[in-house]
Chain A
């Protein structure tokens, strides 16, 4: 398309100069613009479609040629072409595409520092939120009429009742697995009957409640964050405040109470299903009949084995629901933030549950139960 004659270059453009074709044209014109400072004429007489992308190429080529000290002019312009080229020329303004990037090492240090500060700030927020929650709770205890019963029942159904199938199934399967693994090991010593002790103690003291708490953190802690977070994105939480409604009372307290009430019930159900799973497996693999299993069970566990597990449930529930609600209220006004905080809520919830479980173990060991 470019012809050269005596130092003068004639570029004859034709056809469609639009966004769909500019990729090809771009390379050719860049080669031309990088050339020497010859006199270039850009002839547009054959162009029948010119949009802003095409006009930009022509305009840029002329600008670059002139910047190199050459001469460059358009020829064969129709009024429409002229208007388009003017439009482009008027808007020649380089823009930033991305925020400036830091060097990699600095970025790593930056993230590390921010992360560390964030952990401290979040810890402080959690403690402040705990205080606020306890104050709200105390206020509600003094004026029980302010407790929102309908949302409380609604959340109890959602986090408690609806979780029954999944918690039951998981606990049953864990009972089965424990019985089988225990049986294989204990059979080597001819002590397979002690598998009952193994199942009873591990399920009642630790596994049932811990698994239930983890399932609930994934299921309901995340739901709390996403629900409250979406409301925060929508400015509903702010609207609530302006209407004189306290989000702590309306949103947070019903959720926390619902979980504190239902998680012990779920934990009890998990205990039963775990033992049931173990009993079935013992019957199937070791020929320990259910009657024998129950008899051994009475000798194997003291009531404290059961209570050690149950005592932990309301504390775990409190931690999970508190973190879930707090992370929801911390959501900034974007969809991305809802996702981030939800992830955070689940991870923090499970982490706190396991830390609390470790502390409980130390405590129970110290008091000797």
Chain B
């Protein structure tokens, strides 16, 4: 049903390479508005590279990337800035600015792009801190004083600062304990429902894939080999896909999923 809707991200014929090493070849991908899409694949298949290419940190060697219906290769600097205000990015370790407190980190995009009075900025920063489940005293802490999980939450709060339509998450649950990871999953789900977000998530975490992803795209052989729901993945024939979703760890995650829903 959602397939007819204009996709929020459309990638066509993408090729990325570093020197002679080709990472992606003829890669096509559509991300639908309002979905949580999980990108999976073995280590070194270029999941993070794909994310970085879509947000413009890597220049593709060939192909076309459209975000919000605009061709990223052809837009002007001003249009690009407008697009950047409509997305948020959470890097693997949060990538918080180490010389600013958590609250000041969240205020950076507001300060940069919107002419907001300081008081309102502080109020909204406090709101985002609460939304990602950080305690109020975390606001005045510097990133070096936080644990890895708190840094991720703070990074998420910064990526949500301008109420984006689309967020990119690079391995949001890696390095978190199982409880923290499950909480983070629920947080993303809740935000996605309440704020109407589209989520593009690179992950290795089978639990997250089961718990919150609407669709899963598997990167293999330099392209998106399969894309579909969890059920599609489980019934796919390809040996690698089968191994990925039926391996010992996958079975454990599935069992847990069935216990919860059943």
Interface segment among A80-88, A138-146, A234-242: the answer is A80-88
Name the residue on A nearest B139 (C-beta): A95
Contacts A23-B117, A56-B127, A335-B98; is A96 near B137 (CB within 8 Å)? yes
Bound-state CA distance A238–B32 (Å) is: 45
Q: Majority SS of interface residues in chain B?
A: helix
Question: Are B136 and A96 touching (Cβ within 8 A)?
Answer: yes
B111 → chain A closest CB, angstroms: 12
A27 to B98, CA, bound (A): 32
Q: Which of B53-61, B118-126, B219-227 forms contacts with chain A? A: B118-126
Chain B residues near A87: list those with CB within 8 A: 131, 194-195
Name the distance in Å between B88's Cβ and chain A's nearest Cβ: 12
B28 on the interface (CB 8 Å rule)? no
B121 (CB) vs chain A CBs: closest residue: A97
Q: Tell me which residues across on chain B come within 8 A of A23, comparing CB atoms.
A: 114-117, 120
Contact A98-B140, Cβ < 8 Å, known A56-B124, A60-B123, A336-B99: yes
Q: Is A250 an interface residue (CB 8 A)?
A: no
Given A84-B194, A336-B99: A96 and B140 within 8 A (CB)?
yes
B98 touches A334 (CB 8 A): yes
Distance (Å) between the CB of B154 and the closest chain A CB? 11
- Report chain B residues within 8 Å CB of A332: 144
Q: Report how far A20 CA is from B115 CA in the complex, Å.
A: 9
Partner of B130, one of A19, A83, A91: A91
> Which residues of chain B have C-beta atoms less than 8 A from A96's C-beta?
103, 136-137, 139-140
Within 8 A of B (CB), among A113-128: none
Decide if A51 is an interface residue (CB 8 Å cutoff). Answer: yes
Question: Is B163 among interface residues, defined by CB-CB distance under 8 A?
Answer: yes
Cβ-based interface call for A244 (8 A): no
CA distance A93 to B134 in the complex (A): 10
Once bound together, how far apart are the Cα atoms of A33 and B158, in whole Å?
A: 29
Kindly list chain B residues whose C-beta atoms are within 8 Å of the C-beta of A100: 140
When C-beta atoms are compared, the residue in chain B nearest to A91 turns out to be: B130
Chain B residues 182 to 211 lying within 8 A of chain A, measured CB to CB, are: 193-196
- A110 to B188 alpha-carbon distance, docked (Å): 43
CB nearest to A332 among chain B residues: B144
Looking at B101, B120, B161, which has the most chain A CB atoms within 10 Å of its CB? B120
For residue A97, which residue of chain B has the nearest CB?
B103
Per the bound structure, the CA–CA distance linking A60 and B123 in Å amounts to 10
**Is there a chain A Cβ closer than 8 Å to B138's Cβ?**
yes
Bound-state Cα–Cα, A56 to B194, Å:
14
Nearest CB of chain B from residue A11's CB, rounded to whole Å: 18
Whether A51 and B163, one on each chain, are in contact in the complex, defined by CB atoms closer than 8 angstroms, is yes
Contact for A94 among B104, B114, B136, B196, CB less than 8 A: B136
On chain B, the residues within 8 Å of A22 by CB distance are: 114, 116, 120
Are A92 and B115 neighbours in the complex by a CB distance under 8 Å?
Answer: no
Closest to A84 in B: B194
How far apart are the CA atoms of A87 and B160 in the complex, in Å? 14
In the complex, A52→B144 CA distance in Å? 28
Closest to A54 in B: B163
Question: Cβ of B136 and Cβ of A95 under 8 Å apart?
Answer: yes
Q: B103, A92: Cβ atoms under 8 Å?
A: no
Task: Known A83-B194, A87-B131; judge A97-B104 contact (CB<8 A).
Answer: yes
Total number of B residues with any Cβ neighbor in A under 8 Å: 39
Q: Are B110 and A19 in contact (CB under 8 A)?
A: yes
B8 at the interface (CB under 8 A from A): no
A23-B117, A84-B194, A334-B144 given; A98·B101 CB < 8 A:
yes
**Among candidates B114, B140, B193, residue contacting A20 with C-beta atoms closer than 8 Å:** B114
Query: Of the candidates A18, A90, A336, which one forms a contact with B163 in the assembled complex, judged by CB atoms under 8 Å apart?
Result: A18
Q: Which residues of A contact B101 (CB under 8 A)?
A: 97-99
A249 located at the interface, meaning its Cβ lies under 8 Å from any Cβ of chain B in the complex: no
Does any Cβ of A come within 8 Å of B129's Cβ? yes
Closest to B143 in A: A334
A93–B120 touching, CB < 8 Å: no
Q: Shortest CB–CB separation between residue B27 and chain A, in angstroms?
A: 32
Name the residue on B nearest A59 (C-beta): B127
State A54–B150 Cα separation when bound (angstroms): 26
Q: Within 8 Å CB of B253, what residues of A? A: none
B162 CB–A CB distance under 8 Å: yes
Min C-beta distance of B166 to chain A, whole Å:
13
- Say yes or no for A26: interface residue by CB 8 A criterion: yes
Q: Are A95 and B129 in contact (CB under 8 A)?
A: yes
In the complex, A94 Cα to B130 Cα: how many Å? 8
* Besides A23-B116, A95-B134, 6 new A-B residue pairs in contact (Cβ under 8 A), listed by A number: A22-B120, A56-B123, A97-B101, A97-B139, A97-B140, A336-B98
Identify the 6 closest CB pairs spanning chains A and B, nearest first.
Answer: A95-B139, A96-B140, A91-B130, A51-B163, A95-B126, A93-B130
Q: List 24 A-B contacts (CB under 8 A).
A: A18-B163, A20-B114, A22-B116, A26-B117, A27-B117, A52-B131, A52-B195, A56-B124, A80-B196, A84-B195, A91-B130, A92-B127, A93-B130, A94-B126, A94-B136, A95-B137, A96-B136, A96-B139, A97-B101, A97-B126, A98-B101, A99-B140, A100-B140, A334-B144
